[in-house]
Amino acid sequence: MKALIVNGSGMENLSVSEVAAPSISAGQVLVRNRMAGVNPIDVRPVMDPLSVRPMPREPEKARIPGAEFAGEVVEIGSGVDNLSVGDRVSVYNRVFDGTCDMCRSGNENLCRDGFILGTISNGGFAEYSAINARNAVRIPDDLSWEMAASLPVAALTAYHAVMRASVKGSDTCVVLGGSGNTGMFALQFAKAMGAKTIAVSRKSWLGQYGADFTVDANGAAEFVSKLTGGAMASVVINSLGERFWQAGLSLLGARGRLVTFGTLTGRNVGFDIMNAYTKELAILGSTGGTMREFTGLAGDSMRYKVKVWKRFGLSDGRKALEALDSAERDGRVMLAL
pLDDT at 44: 83
pLDDT at 149: 98
pLDDT at 9: 85
pLDDT at 264: 87
pLDDT at 59: 47
* Tens-digit pLDDT profile for residues 116-162: 999 888 999 999 999 999 999 999 999 999 999 999 999 999 999 99
- In this structure, which CATH number among 3.40.50.2000, 3.40.50.720, 3.30.70.890, 3.90.420.10 belongs to the domain 158-285? 3.40.50.720
pLDDT at 48: 72
Q: Could you tell me where the DSSP H helices lie in the chain?
A: 44-47, 101-104, 145-148, 156-164, 183-192, 220-228, 245-250, 273-279, 291-300, 317-323
* Tens-digit pLDDT profile for residues 31-66: 999 999 999 999 988 887 655 554 444 545 558 999
**AA letter at 30:** L
Q: Superfamily for 2-150+306-336?
A: Medium-chain alcohol dehydrogenases, catalytic domain (3.90.180.10)
Residue 103, CB-side half-sphere exposure with 13 Å CA sphere: 13
Q: Which residues, given as ranges, of the chain have pLDDT below 50?
A: 54-57, 59
Using a 10 angstrom Cβ sphere, with 0-12 exposed, 13-18 middle and 19 or more buried, the burial of residue 118 is buried
Overall size of the chain counted in residues: 337
Number of CB atoms found within 10 A of residue 124's CB: 33
∠ CA 275-278-279, nearest 5°, is: 80
Report the percentage of the chain scoring pLDDT > 70. 96
Q: How is the chain split into domains, by residue range? A: 2-150+306-336, 158-285
